[in-house]
Structure 1
Amino acid sequence: MQTLRIGIVDLDTSHPNNWVPILKELGHQVVAVFDGGTVHEEGYASQFAERHEIKVVCESLEEMAQLVDIAIIHSVNWDLHVVRARPFVEAGKAVMIDKPMAGNLRDIQQLQEWERRGVRITGGSSLSVCEEVREWHRQHDPNDQIVTVLAGCSVDEFNYGIHAFYFLQAIMGPGIESVRSAGVHLQHQIELTWQDGRKGFLSIGTTQGYLPFYATIVTENTVKHLQVDNSRLYRSFLEASLPYLAGDAEPFVSISQLLEAELAAMAARKSFLLGGQQIALKQLSHEDQGYEGASFAAQYREKAKGH
């Protein structure tokens, strides 16, 4: 694969610090950074660039779009993701968007429209290609049908909880048709139904302690429990994504398939607000509340200051 010139957009989370060394180890150049100031004070981008030996701190995304082959967008306010991606799309550059990729239907439809236009765009959660799921699929007899899967994690329902949606989809495959909230007992319990009738279950949201990403897979002949090794997640995700973004391979999964996770999370929220009604993904509309990124980002900033 060719050496890519990569730009990092928004330094809000821990991911940029963790991803840049991996990108360099994989043989690529991180040539520019931009930070919109959602979480960090002015000057942080320069400190980040110095720490990681990145030559250019951009004043605008349009400036960065002229310097890079790929932009990786890490904005903790997911409502900014489409806005941040647009200058790169218009410049014909590839884009990777960190999870959650979007929190409302309008943004999801824009990402899907870009994909239809041939834009190289991907992202979401590293759980979509984690080693534990890949190993399970390698060993699993496809004739041994899945009965059900329970998966989950902690921390919060969407910014972190979205990982569990991706994890469940990576195990069971695409084709989520509808979602039903089963209510909240310490965590939010959610039932997802696939187009072929299979059901999977999630338990997500805040708990007293940190829970690892986990899944228990029940097939007709076996029961298998997976617990994810977080230390391998980022590298696996980048190794799976970059060849496609470089134009050297097909996407490991289309962005429309990946976005089923966000749509399912939105359907779970709508179901909860409607007292547990079954909500088909096709029933979602622009009027649905979705998940609001700016308010989450404000809370995130306050917590970051507290540290």
Structure 2
Amino acid sequence: MNPAGYAETFASDHGIERVYASVEEMAEQVDMAFIHSCNWDVHVARALPFVHARKAVFIDKPLAGNVRDLLQIKEWASRGAVVTGGSALRYAPEVQALRRQAAAPHSFIYALSGCANDEYYYGIHAFTLLHGLLGPGIRSVRHLGHSGQDQYELSWSDGRRGIVSVGATESSHPFYATMITQSGVEFITADSSRLYRSLLEAVMPYFSGEAPAPVQLEAVIETELAAIAARLSKERGGQPVELPSLTPDASGYDGAAFARAYREQKRFSL
């Protein structure tokens, strides 16, 4: 928790005119909301007042760490809520350009994506990068093993496959992908300085009512279900986990525990 008065000081330093006493009060006054927390377990509760107020909501990655919360977000959308979220890697120009190349009939062979740091808060970027290249339709995930990082193979319903490599490394790595097609091998790293502009350019027309959602919410949720399936496969010794088999009670990622560890890491790095 931040000390008393932190919000007022932050607002003053950054030219923010008003500080609200509660999320519920804020929800009645703003046009849209961006939900961001290192503890993804609080995302649904913090988004709910804005959904009730019929305001557009972007939930930063990861949307949630468990199936139950992901199903709740999906249910909001089914009732007409304007809601999306997830990793900005989906909208990276490099990913969009490479995806168009992979879309050529019978061109795709295999792909690999990855990044550094933890398995989910940052790792979801790698899952999203691969999903951004290949699109929806993941059928199952299996843990391949550990070699410096953990590797997972994702299988699509149409037979395509790709690998995600995630986990802590001694130094930071860029967000990267390699894709093999019939015509050659392509390697990309995402320019982090362009990620959030690309994200906003994609989602703001949807939030303003000028365009449909840039990506169906089901596709965003599928990415995070794949990461949850990856964790379960690792726990089960590499047994493939089918996405349709995931129940609301399936074990996921503990957001509160991650937030505590992340806070300590930041505190000792200052």
TM-score, structure 1 as length reference: 0.85
Partner of 1:197: 159
SS at match of 1:113: helix
118-127 or 236-245, which moves further after superposition?
A: 236-245
Tell me if structure 2 keeps the 8 A contact 1:144–1:221. no
Q: Which string of whole-angstrom CA distances, capped at 9 and with x for unpartnered residues, describes residues 139-179 of structure 1? A: 56612521010110010100000000000000011111100
Cα distance change of structure 1 residues 170 and 145 upon mapping to structure 2, 3 Å threshold: same
Aligned partner of 1:297 among 256, 259, 265: 259
In the aligned structure 1, how far is the partner of 2:164 from the partner of 2:101? Answer: 24
Deviation of 1:69 after TM superposition, in Å, equals: 1.1
Q: Does 1:164 align with 2:126?
A: yes
The CA deviation string for residues 56-95 of structure 1, in whole angstroms up to 9 with x for no partner, is: 1111011101111101011111000000011111111110
Describe the SS at the equivalent of 2:203: helix
The answer as to 2:226 corresponding to 1:264 is yes
Amino acid at match of 2:42: L
Pick closer, same or farther for the CA change 1:164–1:135 going to 2, 3 Å.
same
Would you say the 8 A contact 1:151–1:164 is kept in 2?
A: yes
Instruction: Give the counterpart letter for 1:199 in structure 2.
Output: R
Secondary structure, aligned partner of 2:97 = helix
Match in the other structure for 1:75: 37
Structure 2, gaps ≥5 residues long: none
**Is the contact made by 2:115 and 2:173 (CA closer than 8 Å) also made in structure 1?**
yes
**Match 1:148 to one of 107, 110, 124:** 110
Alignment map for 1:1-307 (pairs within 5 Å):
37=1, 40-138=2-100, 142-306=104-268, 307=270
Report if aligned partners of 2:94, 2:190 keep a CA contact under 8 Å in 1: yes
| Root-mean-square deviation over aligned CA pairs | 1.2
Confirm or deny: 8 A CA contact 1:180 1:276 kept in the other structure: yes
| Runs of 5+ consecutive residues of structure 1 not aligned to the other structure | 1-36
Retained in 1: the 8 A contact 2:99–2:132? no
Q: Secondary structure at the match of 1:168?
A: helix
What displacement does 1:304 show? Answer: 2.4
Q: Percent identity?
A: 49
CA distance in 1, matches of 2:154, 2:102: 22
Q: Tell me by how many angstroms 1:185 deviates.
A: 1.7
| Residue 233 to residue 145, structure 1, CA distance change in 2 (3 Å) | same
- Give the 4+ runs in structure 1 shifted more than 3 A: 137-141
Measured against aligned partners, the alpha-carbon deviations of 1:249-302 in whole angstroms (never above 9, x if no partner) come to 101101111111110000000000000001001111233220011011111111
> How far apart in 1 are the matches of 2:49 and 2:263?
26
Tell me the alpha carbon deviations over residues 184-206 of structure 1, each in whole angstroms, 9 at most, x when there is no partner. 12100000000101000011000
User: Residue 169 of structure 1 aligns to a residue in which SS?
Assistant: helix
Q: Quick check: 155-164 or 129-138, which moved more?
A: 129-138
CA contact (8 A) 2:102 2:181 kept: no
Please report how far the alpha carbon of residue 54 of structure 1 lies from its aligned counterpart in structure 2 after TM superposition. 1.0
Shift of 1:238: 1.2
Whether the 8 Å CA contact 1:82–1:111 is kept in 2: the answer is yes
TM-score computed with the length of structure 2 as normaliser: 0.96
CA contact 2:136–2:219 (8 Å) conserved in 1: yes
Are the equivalent residues in 2 in contact too, given 1:192–1:200 (CA < 8 A)?
yes
